[in-house]
Structure 1
Amino acid sequence: MGITTVLATETLALAYFYHVCGMFEIVSYRIEHVFDEVFSITSKRCCPYCANIIGAIHIHRRATQFVEFLRSGFVISYFFLLCLGVISLTANLLRLFLATQYLSNLEECITAILFVLGHICYIFFGNYTSQKLIDQSTDVFYKIYVSQWYNAPLHAQKLLLFMMQQTIKGTAISVGGIFIPSLEGFATIFSMSVSYFTVIYSIV
């Protein structure tokens, strides 16, 4: 029952994350191709460049609002999950090290190895998904930067400047305001668990 609940929750969260990544990718695609066609500009109100840019801005705003929704809904549970993950990984590292001291108990060694690998894969997968979200959101800024913005009229360039200011920092989900899941965060969690393990083992 517990495993089913975890799998269902994580699958739903994964679908949410990939939905947001898809929205950011749509924004990047629209920005990348907004200047593919050359239009004759008659007035600011019917500027096709502005219409395409505004459409991308609306999608980007919806994506950031959805990220805020995810942050408010998952921040508490993932904060406790982060703490439990560090504690559990530390305990299983200690269990693995103690099991290797008694090589006669091969079953205990294999069980400890599987638990440690399971923890590492689970933590890595969660941080990798969040890293993908960060990469997709920052890719919007890159697409604006490399686009042919110099071919656009001045009022369209101002819209792009506004969007660059919104996307320069990227979008990430902060856990409790102290941890941002990413590949760097995965390395931090793993090194923290190893540090706690060495301290506990030195005491024991």
Structure 2
Amino acid sequence: MKHITPRELKTKRLRLRNSDLNVQFLYSHSMICIETQHFHLNRILLLAIGLWPYPISKFVRLQIILFSGILTSFVIFQFTAFITTKCTVDFIIKVFSTAIIFNFYVIIYNMFWINTHHVRNLLKQLQCICNELKDENELAIIKKYGYNTRRCTAIITLLAICSILFAILIPIWPQIFGTVLHINQSRIQNQAIQITTEYFIDQEKYIFLIFLHTNAVLCIGGTTMTATGTMILGCFIHACGMFHIASYRIEQAMSTKMLKNINLKNQTMINKKIFYAVEIHRKAMKFIDMLISSFEGSFLLLIMFCVISLSLNIFAVFYNASLGNKEALLLHLSFVFAIYLYMFLTNYIGQEVTNYSNNVYSTAYNVRWYMAPLHTQKMILFILQKGSITFDVNIAGLFVMSLQCFATLTKASMSYFTFMYSTQQ
């Protein structure tokens, strides 16, 4: 056995260390970390409300119970108003128009809390798909859609912050004007309370505690809708990226350069690329099906509440406009805007998924598949057969997320509003 001197041993260790560093450098430049690179802002938002699916400590469990309790209690205190107040049609509409909005927060918060393991599995599956990408152009494609996810999240977060501040400042406006114009304080407090609640206490005496509870609900609920909505939106955007990669692989496999010289080596390469295109197309569809099935019941409930709440809040807008109640009018207008935006974004991304899936079919149809080897033609035929049936984001077989669905839901909401408004004439 050859004797190794201490100097040689030291040199060998340095070489091994340098090689390890090179491997780490190459790994860091070729691999994508979904959580820290593409869902960084989503992670911060979900951590703020205790819904990030990774390590759930005792503090996070306490945070979840506290936030869920705050959101649920506010909905309960709105419905308790029926105990102390005479139930008229106008009063019922007034309570339900706001109570259903805040019930959104409860449903969405608990939806993510219960399905934490599903969110974790979705992120793991997405990370595995990204780890399998080796081609520089494919990595560039998925990074582009990661950038789109970050950009959409940032824009929606900014809109949410502005909306929350607007909703918080609405009750304070009368107090500001009261200080300047010397308006009676009791009148200010009555104008300031636009959301009907019953705490079974002297509301004028504990007005600031009630405001604190209301503002806490607005902040927690607004963050919940933003964090969970952008998280699901980001998953759909990455699914569009997978469909884009599938189209890219088909184009590369059936390029003119490949088809000009079909030898054994090129034939093997074409078959391999088509196989990978079929594989990522299948994974994209499976990923979307997994996403929808994880939240299917909650999505159905949210769709139903969206239609009802939109009808009630449009009615409240017209009702308060006729009474000249500007603070309540602005509050209900902000609710209408938020519901419309939520419905539009949800259906728009569903339409985009369908379009990207159809684009894979179009790409496979338009390439020179007839010049490819017989085995490759059979694989492309498989894509064409799958593409002949439109891939839709289908919720329980009742709703297909698309712009047509958005128009249908809006039409249904306007129909219910028209019915309510006609009965009040």
Q: Scaled by the length of structure 1, what TM-score is found? A: 0.92
Which one has a bigger Cα radius of gyration?
2
In structure 2, the residue matched to 1:58 is 279
Match of 1:26 among 228, 231, 245: 245
Match of 2:292 among 64, 71, 87: 71
In structure 1, the residue matched to 2:409 is 189
In structure 1, the residue matched to 2:262 is 40
Is 1:161 paired with 2:384?
A: no
Q: Report how many aligned residue pairs link the two structures.
A: 202
In structure 1, C-alpha distance between the alignment counterparts of 2:309 and 2:250, rounded to whole Å? 44
Is 1:112 paired with 2:332?
A: yes
Structure 2 residue runs of 5 or longer lacking an equivalent are 1-219
8 Å CA contact 1:75–1:174 kept in 2: the answer is no
Shift in Å at residue 68 of structure 1? 1.5
Segment of structure 1 superposing worse, 192-201 or 167-176 = 167-176
8 Å CA contact 1:95–1:112 kept in 2: the answer is yes
Is 1:176 paired with 2:396?
A: yes
Shift in Å at residue 156 of structure 1? 1.1
In structure 1, the residue matched to 2:221 is 2
Is 1:99 paired with 2:334?
A: no
RMSD: 1.7
Q: Scaled by the length of structure 2, what TM-score is found? A: 0.46
In structure 1, C-alpha distance between the alignment counterparts of 2:349 and 2:420, rounded to whole Å? 31
Letter matched to residue 163 of structure 1: I
In structure 1, the residue matched to 2:360 is 140
In structure 2, the residue matched to 1:15 is 234
In structure 2, C-alpha distance between the alignment counterparts of 1:55 and 1:129, rounded to whole Å? 25
In structure 2, C-alpha distance between the alignment counterparts of 1:34 and 1:93, rounded to whole Å? 53
Structure 1 residue runs of 5 or longer lacking an equivalent are none
In structure 1, the residue matched to 2:304 is 83
Identity of aligned residues (%): 37
In structure 1, C-alpha distance between the alignment counterparts of 2:271 and 2:294, rounded to whole Å? 34
In structure 2, C-alpha distance between the alignment counterparts of 1:43 and 1:29, rounded to whole Å? 21
Is 1:123 paired with 2:354?
A: no
* Greater RCO structure (CA 8 Å; 6+ sep): 1
8 Å CA contact 1:130–1:182 kept in 2: the answer is yes
Indicate the SS of the match to 2:394: coil
In structure 1, the residue matched to 2:270 is 49
Segment of structure 1 superposing worse, 146-155 or 79-88 = 146-155
Shift in Å at residue 43 of structure 1? 8.4
